[in-house]
Amino acid sequence: MFKSNRVLRDVNLVEILKQRNLIQQSTKQVITDKSKLTLYTGADPSAKSLHLGNLVPLLLSFHLNLNNNNIILLSGGATGVLGDPTFKTNEREKKDLIQLEENGEAIAKQQENFFKNATNYYKELDTKDAIYGEKQNDDIGTRKYVNNLNWFGDIKLLDFLHEYGSNFKIKELLSKESVKQRLNHVSSNGGTDGSLSIKEFFYQILQGYDFYHLCKHENCLGQIGGNDQWGNMTSGLEFMRRQSDISNDEQRFILSTPLIVDNAGRKFGKSEGNALFLNPKMTSIFEVYQYFINAMDEDVERYLKIFTLLSDEKIKEVVHTTKLNKSNRHAHKVLASNVVHLVHGKQFVPLCEDFSQLLFNNKKLLEYLSTHKEKKTLFEHFRQIYDFKQFSKEDDSDLFDIMKILEPGIEERNINSCLQNSFKFLNQDNKFEKLNYVEGKTTFKDLVQNCKRIDDRFVIFRIRKNSMSILEII
């Protein structure tokens, strides 16, 4: 049995989810738990894992699924071959077909795991704190997993163009903002290169056909996507209006989710260099936890609405408690714990909380080292959540190059400043000592010789105020 607040039954989910910053645009004004609609959302297999940005459409899908609407989760085995050009300045690198297939299988499994984890997360919330409160099993819609390669794989190009080409209009396709931006892109030499290949241009045609296929065969009336996909999604609606073999034109609709940006205003994505992946082998569970702990104060309430299923009342209570004692960062901790619980599971939350205490509380760290000094597996149980990067004790690389591995997100021009001003290491006296860095002369090997070696293999660096690393020396 799920937990539920029956006051929220038969309410307009579109309005609720707009207020939760999960819907940015919608061509449908009302969806309730009595609508029993079928919607789909898709993800291309351009990487081995979904990332934080993909989580938002999945969360919107889960909200609707939790309220008796059916969800189709699509893996873009066909569209992934083309590569989505939306708001990209350059064509995506051509992917190996075998790798795309493997990625697609991994993403389909990840989508399924997300819904299982999200279901458990909702069940484990206190009834009074959950956005929809108590939910019976028959309140939940169905889910189905599909791959668009299953219907595109055997289609012949001439047959496709003969059957459907007349209903995709060039003027409409060219009018999409993402296409216009690409065609008018200013190159590095100041000219307008207008570079958009036919392969990329065809992407929105395939995505439009996906919607048509699912509408015709699965009675799917709605599509969910990121707001950058709005042009592609409207192309699908325009195409379907001209198809004579499907009806219910006025019932078909699209929903878009807001794009999530990092502190520098950059979109989270697989090709932007700052992605947080949902696969714990690619982004550690603790890294996800720490990201939300370090969220800017002005973002926390918005993130609580997007990334948790806590009720609005509970979120207001959390925010109010935080304002009474800002230094305690109560809202940040609630946010980080809920995201880990939602994405990876409740069992990892205490480990993240304990490890965070060790890394960012000197007193706690030294107490832990003192009370566990006889144990040879001092940090072993934290391997479930943290990636202990391994380095050789004989590595004589300059610390500048080591920093690029430890902090891949930091700009190179800021690395020297970090090494000279904020970098500290735990020395053999159990004190954090400021690094005396000399450019081109201070090597990793030199530094390790001055560090405390915990269990004869771990060293601890305080790189910046909110950035600590424990390295394993081999």
Output the domain CATH number for residue 225. 3.40.50.620
157 and 111 within one domain: yes
What is the pLDDT, as a whole number, of residue 173?
A: 85
> Is residue 185 in a domain?
yes
Q: Are 110 and 279 within 8 A, CB to CB?
A: yes
**Is 338 a domain residue?**
yes
Q: Would strands 424-426 and 467-473 be described as parallel, antiparallel, or unpaired?
A: unpaired
pLDDT at 199: 85
Q: How many domains does the chain have?
A: 3
The enclosing domain of 396 has a CATH number of 3.10.290.10
CA 205 – CA 239 distance, rounded (Å): 9
Name residues of the chain where pLDDT drops below 70: 1-9, 86-90, 185-194, 248, 262-264, 266-274, 373-376
**pLDDT tens sequence across 449-459:** 999 998 888 99
**Residue 270 counted as domain residue:** no
Residue 192 has a pLDDT of 53
Give the contacts of 59 (CB within 8 A, at least 6 positions apart): 22, 118, 306, 307
The parent domain of residue 252 ranges over 6-257
- Rounded Cα gap, residues 233 and 79, in angstroms: 14
Nearest to 42 by CA among 199, 162, 182, 209: 209
* pLDDT value of residue 263: 61
Do 252 and 288 lie in one domain? The reply is: no
* 227 and 315 belong to one structural domain: no
Q: Write down the pLDDT at residue 376.
A: 63
If asked whether residues 368 and 396 sit together in one domain, one would say: no
- The pLDDT, as a whole number, for residue 270 is 42
Q: Please report whether residue 325 resides in a domain.
A: yes
For 59-78, what is each residue's pLDDT tens digit? 999 999 999 999 999 999 88
Name the domain boundary from 257, 292, 325. 257
What pLDDT, on a 0 to 100 scale, did the predictor assign at position 268? Answer: 57
pLDDT at position 271: 45
Same domain, yes or no, for 136 and 215? Answer: yes
369/405 same-domain check: no
Alpha carbon distance 403, 192 (integer Å): 37
Task: Report yes or no on whether pTM surpasses 0.75.
Answer: yes
Last residue of a domain, one of 373, 408, 429: 373
